[in-house]
């Protein structure tokens, strides 16, 4: 199995989720994160003083999938989240040793 | 004799002016700081309100409003001795108990304004000690000078609702405080933006509404003077807000909420000394002047002087109050819709009187604040430790967190 | 002659009505939008308040309340010319400066109500341009028609505190605005829930309290009329709140906070035109009617019409105000506890007059709003870009974030 | 005859007291609970306000303020029958419609105070049923006893603004409620801290400002009595706040914001029954006593008794109100600055009368609350299910979330 | 060493933490996340309009443990967090190459 | 490639970020988390009642880097975040199989 981590633009979450559902990936876990990268932050100006906000709000998606599906999941995330603008984000893949569904105790692929 | 109508309005005004500090000013300032310091700001405002109330009873009121000398009152009204339930405040239709209360709300908000200079880095004990001494040494005497039968009032200085008494004293003291306390960590490059601009606006809105009590209440009666004072107050606030908005729009392309409401406060502070003397035209002019000059003053203090008067007490209140005090001499003239200068006083004369008022009070505020702070530094220290500042005053000074969502 | 008691109450009422907009309505609306747009809503309310204040001085008041023709006033009171500090507003015991101020707070809140129709997607410049033109073209003339000596007032239309002048104008204009601006992204399937229901309640509570100034202040004196107006206002608000709560409880099993306070506002809008004419029974009846009809109207507009009048300005204010205006003709009769119809006027007559008032004003509001918006579209555009909308107006239009926790 | 000045002040006071509950008390309590229950607290306060308003019209007012017997009024003023627009409330200069309204705001806040005892775990239906019955069975009769011509008033009990009527009834009933409902999950070891101390302070500030209407409004006129009542109210609040602050500072090294404002409320509750009778010295003394005794009572109830009166209604309101009622007998004497005891009444006599008042009302409140709750348990159940409590009442009872940031 | 990731119901955090303490696992890192899975979200109704909230609040626990302890930790989390209802969550295990305690520079098992 | 996870004190984020920038690591993702460990929480006292807050606010940094840089990144994070006090946090390293830049579709080291 693989553990896929995608950092994307917050407003691309809905399209990505819909695209994953379409290829039958229903489970995922989402976290709000702050991203630092090539895309730069912005300044806010209050009473003449500039405040530099150097991070950007991003969303992290984590999905556990069977190894055979990994490539198609990565591709689906990419195609549904790409806008072509800097800051679109990244997709990372890590090897996943085991998975278990808490409710039933099922393990591995059955647990996903 | 007590007039029920006048009394009704001053009872209401007293509630409105207390509302300005609690929670108005507290929210206005609280939204401007980081989320780890919000409770400390609210605590400063609350504790100051409570302490000043007692000190006002324990001599503050007496020093300001008993006869005494031209320089300061005496202690004949300590603990309100001699003031009965039915005693009328002379020259008005309201009970003296109520006059005491109304003035007390001014004595609360003035030191509370200074909070803006020392947020996010002061020791809590220092807040209390400083504010207490300041009430006796700066606020009460200056009030006596201007409103209590003292030398400035006798000179004919015009300060209807506290341009000098409230805003110049607080503004100048704030600058001295900021200078002696040192800047916030990271100032000026890396301070964090206001944690809750929405809260700033809510506080400003409450200040605006409460200011009707401050200025129109200062008429001490419910009639044409109060009506016109409310009107010019409002017009000045609206004008200065729009001025600030337009400047930001032109300069940065984006008018901000924090900006427009800062303009509101600038307009309110500026009209305050003139609010009982000028007409609609004066309201417009002072709003315009207040917006422009305070905007420029904010940049001046923070960028040029490099002093971290964190929430711009000098630039908004001090400069606004001084501007209004000076312009009152102009817009008081009848041809500009004002109530007219006193007999035999020329515009030039009045302007000089006003300038003396502003200058003398600014000087006294600066010197006295300096000395008080020297004492505070010895007694309990002024600045919190760096560790406490990093962790945030809410937890290190008060043991609480502002948000547990 | 100025009466201090009456003046005291209208000074207070003016403060209360300003408080309704700043911060009441701002919080009520602000809590209903997404967190990325809260500041823009607060900014709309603040900027409208400031701009309307100046326009009211620059002719708005004069168009509404100077003699002129039955259709519109003239400019004789432009900049309050001729109004002295001691001028009494005719037929009352309050200074005209105060009447100007009291009415100004109405001229502020009315265009601010329309904010609810265009939140989360309008350009800021369009807000200002639209609201300014709307004040001169819709609000001031309609006020003249009803309260300023115009044709509707002469016909004997009953509108004590602004069912027609405030709520019908705002409600109808809101619908036209919503239609021309287009819906929020995702409407109706995928809009996000209110970001802060607690804030909605706080705003509603402030509106409720402030409404005492709105309705009981419209008596322009402090006596039995004001007392009864306050009473029926309160009873209607309480009744409509409970009606809304019960409907939701029955329908969904869970009465919501946003629901109950929406009922409050519906009840307040509904009683407004009738508040000076009816008794406790009228208060109950109008609250009941307001709760039921506005609830149904909310569903009608959003689901049937499919128009994204986002915060239900038409359904709550417009429909409520119209309902109350019509029912005022019924509950004004003495046998139902009201002050009685005018001599020689039958209930049927009055009902027709009320209907003409509502109809004419609705029509004028719709047509004028349409034309104003066409102009605004040409001058500066109406709708923000999709990118700005997605990122949120707080940052894209004002350069700030609402929450930095 | 109606006096415009007095009426103006009571109109204002009515608005101020409504403001105490909506949104004052709602925010004060709302900030003290977990974020998953904030909306339920706001909902309780809102729904109680609406329901009590109607019940007050439907007989509540009549039971309290019509002649009837020494034990309870009759229904002659049901639906305000016989009260005309111009009817003056006897012995005052205000219309009876307004007296009805002013008293209604008391009838709203009193059951709303009890919310503090049952937050985070009660069924919503139980809130409504309990509060409604409680108004008729506890509040209205007790009001009659003290203010409506009943037996306690005839005995000469002193309760100016509701130490007995409001605070003892609510406090004692809260304890019985807390005991019967059972504690919050995790009490006392593992309850979560207040989710928003800033909100607690904002609510407390609004309560403070609104309390001016509560106490100074209870003079029912705008003169020396109102002025002095406002003064002593304020002094007591300030004193008790500082007392609480100092205790925490000494005990824990960190004075907290939640602490200081709890002291404020304790000081306000304590002065309430005495506020029309005592002078500045009495204000100081009652503030001191209120701060010390309520602080100790908080620890007593939660730690010793182990009863989860969650937001300390008994300890702050009940104990404060009782303390003030007893001390009123002392500080009413003229040598301590009070208005003096009635002719022929000794301090001892008065103290006994006060104690009887407190005791009888406490007893009746306890017994009646017990019986009402037994009934409520049968009709709709009292405590929400554990699952609902874990998920939070906001969602399970009202279908909403407080924060969607 | 292993890196164990558990997605659980928020109100099961305390029991899980206590159970882990009982088997001498004291360190862990917790994040508030939004879960998408078989358990469906809910609708909120405001003024007659339905708002679909399609995610559920969950809590993510991350624990680094020695490989020998991994099974017992997984089992402990499962048993202390299972309620038998849909949405109980999952446990994932990933291989952990190295660990370091910042304060001391200690590495591997010593760092945990 | 390696996936480096560091749990640090919140106020050390800026120094760490600056130190990483100095060694040319520009991309990273940051999450606010609650930490449980040896460093104990605190009590807050409200109205005489003690509330035990048993977690501490921490910040989690995740950085994907080429394997060759892993050691120096770990060392940089350590040295820039260590204060020597308990609760300074941990650094974990996991093997990263693949990375992709969404915008361009670039993979592996090019994607970082
Ligand atoms: N090396 C990295 N490790 C972890 N997260 C990264 C890394 N580089 C970038 N990110 C995340 O990806 C987001 C987008 O990266 P950025 O360089 O701004 O644009 P792009 O993905 O278009 O190259 C960043 O905000 C950050 O959250
Ligand atoms: N494939 C997955 N990858 C990552 N997280 C998942 C995955 N499937 C489920 N989850 C997480 O586990 C939670 C519970 O899953 P769900 O399918 O709702 O119930 P259950 O665990 O009982 O089968 C989800 O809300 C989500 O956070
Ligand atoms: N085994 C672990 N797995 C995951 N995170 C851990 C582990 N141990 C500690 N942590 C995280 O590291 C933080 C610091 O650990 P702690 O034991 O308090 O101090 P120190 O790092 O100085 O030993 C914790 O708050 C927690 O977030």
ipTM: 0.97
Q: Where are the alpha helices (DSSP H) in F13-66?
A: 13-22
Pairs of residues, one from chain A and one from chain B, whose beta carbons lie less than 8 Å apart: 30
CA separation for the pair D77, E77 (Å, rounded): 66
Please provide the DSSP assignment of B150-200 as one string: -HHHHHT---SSSIIIIIIHHHHHHHHHHHHH-PPTTTTTSPPPPS-HHHH
* Res B225 pLDDT > 90: yes
F11 CB within 6 A, ligand 3: no
Structure tokens at D273: 């029954």
Tell me the mean pLDDT in the region D319-334: 98
Q: What is the mean pLDDT of chain E?
A: 92
pLDDT in the model for residue D44: 98
Q: How many domains does chain C have?
A: 1
Give the model confidence (pLDDT) of B331-374 as tens digits.
Answer: 999 999 999 999 999 999 999 999 999 999 999 999 999 999 99
Question: Within an 8 Å CB–CB cutoff, is residue D405 touching chain C?
Answer: yes
- The neighbouring-strand residues paired with B95 are B88
The nearest alpha carbon in chain C to B13 belongs to C12
Chain F CB within 8 Å of residue B209 CB: no
Length of chain E: 112
Whole-number Cα distances in Å, E73 to A111, D254, E30, E91: 17, 40, 16, 10
Tell me how crowded residue F85 is: count the other CB atoms within 10 A of its CB.
9
Residue E28 Cβ inside 6 Å of ligand 3? The answer reads yes
Tell me what the mean pLDDT of segment D217-240 comes to.
Answer: 98
D211 within some domain = yes
3-state SS class at B111: helix
Q: pLDDT tens digits, residue range C373-390?
A: 999 999 999 999 999 999
What is the distance between the alpha carbons of residues B226 and B212, in angstroms, rounded to a whole number? Answer: 9
A31 Cβ closer than 6 Å to some ligand 2 atom: no
Percent of chain C surpassing pLDDT 70? 100
Q: Is C336 exposed, middle or buried (0-12, 13-18, 19+ CB in 10 A)?
A: middle
What was the pLDDT predicted at B36? 97
Is E24 part of the contact surface with chain F (CB cutoff 8 Å)?
A: no
Which backbone phi and psi does C165 adopt, to 5 degrees? Answer: -60, -40
Does residue D108 register a pLDDT over 90?
yes
Residue pair D60/D107 in contact (Cβ under 8 Å)? The answer is yes
High-pLDDT (> 70) share of chain D, % = 100
Q: C391: which 2 tokens? A: 């990122």
Predicted confidence (pLDDT) per residue in B257-310, tens digit: 999 999 999 999 999 999 999 999 999 999 999 999 999 999 999 888 999 999
For residue E12, give how far its alpha carbon lies from the nearest alpha carbon of chain D (Å).
10
Distance A74 CA to ligand 2 centre (A): 18
The tens-digit pLDDT sequence of chain A (112 residues) is 999 999 999 999 999 999 999 999 989 999 999 999 988 888 888 887 778 888 899 999 999 999 999 999 999 999 999 998 999 999 999 999 999 999 998 887 887 8
Query: Low-confidence residues of chain F, pLDDT below 50?
Result: none
Cβ contact, residue pair C339, D85, below 8 Å? yes
Please report the pLDDT score of residue B12 as a whole number: 98
Q: Is any atom of ligand 2 closer than 6 Å to the C-beta of E56?
A: yes
pLDDT of B120 reads 98
Beta carbons within 10 angstroms of residue C250's beta carbon: 9
Q: Is the pLDDT of residue E39 over 90?
A: no
Residue D190 has pLDDT above 90, yes or no: no
Q: From the CA of D10, how many Å to the nearest CA of chain B?
A: 9
Q: Is residue B220 part of a domain?
A: yes
Q: Is E90 in the pocket of ligand 2 (CB under 6 A)?
A: yes
Q: Which atom of ligand 1 is nearest to the CA of A7?
A: 12
Confidence of residue D29 (pLDDT cuts 50, 70, 90): very high
pLDDT by residue for chain C (405 residues), tens digit each? 999 999 999 999 999 999 999 999 999 999 999 999 999 999 999 999 999 999 999 999 999 999 999 999 999 999 999 999 999 999 999 999 999 999 999 999 999 999 999 999 999 999 999 999 999 999 999 999 999 999 999 999 999 999 999 999 999 999 999 999 999 998 988 888 999 999 999 999 999 999 999 999 999 999 999 999 999 999 999 999 999 999 999 999 999 999 999 999 999 999 999 999 999 999 999 999 999 999 999 999 988 899 999 999 999 999 999 999 999 999 999 999 999 999 999 999 999 999 999 999 999 999 999 999 999 999 999 999 999 999 999 999 999 999 998
Average pLDDT, chain B: 97
- What is the count of residue pairs from D and E with beta carbons less than 8 Å apart? 8
The count of other CB atoms within 10 Å of the CB of residue A95 is: 15
How many angstroms separate the CA atoms of E85 and E37, rounded? 13
Distances (CA, A) of B194 to A45, A47, B191, B310: 10, 11, 9, 11
* Partners of residue D192 in chain E, C-beta under 8 Å: none
Q: Cα separations (Å) of F59 from B399, D241, E58, F90?
A: 22, 37, 19, 11
pLDDT at res. D309: 96
Range of the domain at C14: 4-393
In a domain, C82, yes or no: yes
Which residue carries 């930490």 as its tokens? F35
Chain A, residues 61-100, CB within 8 A of chain B, namely: none
CATH code of the domain covering residue C360: 1.10.3430.10
Cβ–ligand 1 distance for F28 under 6 Å, the answer yes
Which of C193, C245, C255, C298 to probe the E interface (max E CBs under 10 A)?
A: C193
DSSP, collapsed to helix, strand or coil, labels residue F107 as strand
Q: What is the pLDDT of residue F31?
A: 97
Helix (H) or strand (E) segment spanning residue E44: strand E42-46
In a domain, D399, yes or no: no
* E4-11 average pLDDT score: 95
Q: What pLDDT digit, counting tens, does each position of C88-139 carry?
A: 999 999 999 999 999 999 999 999 999 999 999 999 999 999 999 999 999 9
Max alpha carbon distance in chain D (Å)?
65
Residues 6+ apart with CB under 8 A from C329: C158, C341, C347, C350, C351, C353, C354
The pLDDT of residue C141: 98
Handedness of CA B219, B221, B225, B229 (dihedral sign): positive
Residue whose tokens read 């990325």:
C36
E101: helix, strand or coil: strand
Q: Rounded to an integer, what distance in angstroms lies between the CA atom of residue B275 and that of residue B234?
A: 10
Residue D85: inside a domain, yes or no? yes
Convert the pLDDT of each residue in F30-54 to its tens digit.
999 999 998 888 888 888 777 888 8
Please report the pLDDT score of residue E48 as a whole number: 76
Vertex D80 angle, CA D74 and D81, to 5°: 80
| pLDDT at residue B245 greater than cutoff 90 | yes
Percent of chain C with pLDDT over 90: 97
Query: What DSSP character marks residue C59?
Result: I
For C159-210, the DSSP string reads: -SSSIIIIIIHHHHHHHHHHHHH-PPTTTTTSPPPPS-HHHHHHHHHHHHHH
Is any Cβ of chain F less than 8 angstroms from the Cβ of A33? Answer: yes
Evaluated on CA atoms E53, E54, E55, E57, the torsion sign reads positive
Whether C306 maps to a domain, the answer reads yes
Q: What are phi and psi of F34, to 5 degrees?
A: -110, 130
Residue D155 lies in a domain: yes
Q: How far apart are CA C17 and CA C212, in angstroms?
A: 8
Any domain includes D403: no
Please state whether the peptide bond connecting residue B188 to the residue before it is cis, i.e. omega within 30 degrees of 0.
yes
Distance E88 CA to ligand 2 centre (A): 8
The neighbours of chain A, by the rule of 3 or more Cβ pairs under 8 Å, are B, C, E, F
Per-residue pLDDT of B141-167, as tens digits, reads 999 999 999 999 999 999 999 999 999
CB B38 within 8 A of CB D37: no
Q: What is the pLDDT of residue B183?
A: 97
Per-residue pLDDT of B64-105, as tens digits, reads: 999 999 999 999 999 999 999 999 999 999 999 999 999 999
Maximal C-alpha separation, chain A: 59
Beta bridge partners of E59: E8, E32
């Amino acid at each position: 199995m693989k553990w896929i981590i995608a950092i994307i633009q917050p407003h691309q979450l809905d399209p990505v989720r819909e695209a994953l559902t379409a290829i039958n990936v229903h489970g995922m876990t989402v976290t709000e994160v702050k991203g630092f990268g090539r895309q730069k932050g912005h300044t806010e100006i209050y009473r003449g003083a500039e405040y530099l906000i150097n991070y950007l709000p991003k969303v992290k998606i984590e999905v556990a999938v069977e190894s055979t599906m990994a490539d198609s999941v990565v591709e689906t995330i990419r195609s549904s989240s790409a806008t072509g603008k800097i800051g679109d984000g990244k997709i990372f893949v890590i090897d996943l040793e085991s998975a278990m569904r808490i409710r039933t105790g099922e393990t591995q692929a059955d647990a996903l | 004799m007590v007039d029920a109508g006048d009394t009704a309005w001053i009872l209401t005004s007293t509630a409105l002016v207390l509302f300005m500090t609690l929670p108005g000013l507290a929210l206005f300032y609280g939204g401007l700081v980081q989320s780890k310091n919000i409770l400390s700001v609210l605590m400063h405002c609350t504790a100051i309100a409570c302490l000043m109330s007692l000190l006002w009873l324990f001599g503050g009121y007496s020093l300001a409003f008993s006869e005494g000398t031209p320089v300061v009152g005496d202690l004949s009204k300590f603990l309100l001795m001699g003031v009965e339930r039915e005693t009328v405040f002379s020259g008005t239709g309201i009970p003296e108990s109520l006059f005491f209360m109304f003035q007390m709300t001014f004595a609360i908000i003035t030191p509370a304004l200074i909070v803006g200079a020392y947020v996010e880095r002061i020791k809590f004990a220092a807040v209390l000690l400083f504010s207490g001494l300041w009430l006796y040494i700066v606020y009460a005497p200056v009030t006596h000078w201007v409103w209590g039968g003292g030398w400035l009032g006798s000179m004919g200085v015009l300060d209807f609702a506290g341009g000098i008494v409230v805003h110049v004293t607080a503004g100048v003291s704030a600058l001295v405080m900021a200078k002696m306390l040192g800047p916030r960590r990271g100032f000026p490059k890396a301070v964090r933006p206001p944690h809750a601009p929405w809260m700033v606006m809510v506080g400003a809105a409450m200040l605006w509404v409460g200011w009707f009590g401050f200025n129109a209440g200062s008429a001490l009666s419910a009639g044409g003077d109060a009506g016109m004072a409310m009107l010019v107050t409002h017009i000045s606030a609206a004008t200065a807000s729009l001025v600030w908005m337009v400047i930001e729009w032109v300069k940065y392309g984006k008018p901000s909420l924090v900006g427009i409401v800062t303009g509101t406060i600038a307009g309110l502070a500026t009209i305050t000394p003139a609010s009982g003397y000028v007409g609609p035209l004066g309201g417009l002019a002072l709003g315009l002047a207040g917006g422009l000059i305070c905007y420029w003053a904010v940049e001046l203090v923070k960028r040029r002087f490099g002093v971290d008067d964190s929430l711009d007490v000098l630039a908004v209140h001090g400069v606004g109050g001084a501007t209004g005090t000076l312009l009152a001499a102009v817009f008081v003239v009848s041809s500009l819709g004002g109530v007219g200068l006193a007999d035999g006083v020329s515009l030039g004369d009045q302007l000089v009187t006003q300038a003396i008022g502003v200058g003398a009070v600014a000087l006294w505020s600066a010197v006295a604040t300096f000395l008080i702070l020297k004492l505070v530094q010895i007694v309990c220290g002024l600045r919190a430790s760096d560790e406490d500042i990093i962790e945030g005053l809410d937890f290190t000074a008060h043991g609480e967190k502002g948000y547990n969502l």
